[in-house]
Structure 1
Amino acid sequence: MRTRTTIAVCLLLAGLTASCSSNDTDEPTVAKASVTESAGPTPSPTPSPRQETYKLGDIVDISAGGNDFSAATLTYKNQGVTSPPGLLQEGQKFATVQVKVCNRSDEPIEVSPFTWSLAYEDGARVEPTHVSGGGLPQPAYPLDAKVRGGDCVRGYILFEVPEEFGRAERVLYSPGDLDEPVEWTVPTV
């Protein structure tokens, strides 16, 4: 038993040493030890060193699906968006974000407001609604538009949110080619 424990500790240390070696990619390297016995709880994974949540106004460079582009959440507004009478359901309010996406590739990319969402502290997620009319913030973010290389698109995305929801915690951008969303933190005031 003592020999197996000593071997397990040596294998674990060898695995940890190997995982600390230099790597040219941003992806964390995970070493898996093939030990059947465990001397204690498994350590938590170390977070990636890259920034994963940004501030409103930060421009994020993205490479996905063979395209290079940037995205930014410029503003967030939780209340005070006026709408034509009868547009909102009872117990609902509008929240808006102003976003901008710039295509840095030669090939066109597609943009849509439906790749954006709001995340709340309790885990709720709200997807955009697409309505237009007088009194709503302009310009509206385009619906399923193509953006040619070197061009940008900017506009407001409208969210219909239950009145009891406070401010969103984060704005998420999840185009289809990304493994995880890009996130901007919404300030508390």
Structure 2
Amino acid sequence: MRTRTTAAAATALLLALTACSSSGKPEKITVTVTQTVTAAPGKEADAARTDSALKMGTKKDVVEPENDLHVTVQALAYQQPYKGPQPQPPEDFQGGDTWSTADIKVCNIKGADIHVSQFPWSLAYSDGTTIDITGSSGGDSPKPEFPMDKTLKSGRCARGLIAFPVPSDKRPESLVYEPEGSQPTEWAIPKA
């Protein structure tokens, strides 16, 4: 799903000017002037941003008017280490020595069915490293889990936890949502 934002509106203004031709007769000239107006983000959007990342809990609207689609995506909370029933520690190949979780909610407000998954989500660190989901689900993963692959009809939501294997001595800077073919959206992770 692609995100499109209308940031400018154009207004046309017609001006009639009178000039003299070489024959001395007045000549009517029509000039079209186009003014570009840039829409400023609302105060609510400004307050929700923290260094270009959204504040945890802020809803992100994804609207595609040409497809009559409206979806909201929300990162509700981040927890490190995960404080619920502990799954087995991450395996060496997964990286990290403890589990963290992100509480996610996606709603199909209006339009065609959409598919939701954990795969567009990752963690970003200030040193440029990222941690992706493991692709594992079920078993002793933190519950309730955000779906790995689910169809959402219009008017329905999906909510749950996504687990990340993280190093316990390092905290991510942001939670990133980047569906294929779309620009990433980030939520700032509060300091511990």
| Bin of the TM-score, shorter chain as denominator length | 0.5 to 0.7
Matches within 5 A, 1:86-101: 87-90=89-92, 92-101=97-106
- The answer to whether structure 1 residue 152 and structure 2 residue 157 are counterparts is yes
CA drift of 1:92 comes to: 1.8
- The answer to whether structure 1 residue 109 and structure 2 residue 114 are counterparts is yes
Distance 2:162 2:191 in 1: 20
CA contact 2:56–2:77 (8 Å) conserved in 1:
yes
Distance 1:182 1:62 in 2: 11
CA drift of 1:126 comes to: 0.7
- The answer to whether structure 1 residue 77 and structure 2 residue 59 are counterparts is no
Alignment partner, residue 185 of structure 1: 188
CA drift of 1:78 comes to: 1.3
* Between structures 1 and 2, the one with greater strand share: 2
Distance 1:153 1:106 in 2: 16
Distance 1:70 1:173 in 2: 12
Alignment partner, residue 174 of structure 2: 170
CA contact 1:140–1:157 (8 Å) conserved in 2:
yes
Distance 1:149 1:24 in 2: 32
Alignment partner, residue 127 of structure 1: 132
* Between structures 1 and 2, the one with greater helix share: 1
Distance 2:60 2:90 in 1: 33
Number of matched pairs? 144
Letter in 1 for 2:149: D
Alignment partner, residue 58 of structure 2: 58
Unpaired segments ≥5 residues, structure 1: 1-20, 27-48
CA drift of 1:76 comes to: 0.2
CA contact 1:69–1:103 (8 Å) conserved in 2:
yes
Q: CA RMSD in A?
A: 2.6
CA drift of 1:162 comes to: 3.0
Unpaired segments ≥5 residues, structure 2: 1-34, 41-45
CA drift of 1:25 comes to: 6.6
Distance 2:124 2:167 in 1: 13
Alignment partner, residue 33 of structure 1: none
Alignment partner, residue 22 of structure 1: 36
- Higher radius of gyration, 1 or 2: 2
Q: When the two structures are superposed, what TM-score results if normalisation uses the length of structure 2?
A: 0.66
Secondary structure in 1 matching 2:180: coil
Aligned-pair identity in percent equals 31
Distance 1:84 1:104 in 2: 34
Secondary structure in 1 matching 2:119: helix
Q: Deviations over 1:51-99 (max 9, x none)?
A: 54211111111125833200100010111444344x5225521111000
Distance 2:171 2:74 in 1: 19
Letter in 1 for 2:139: G
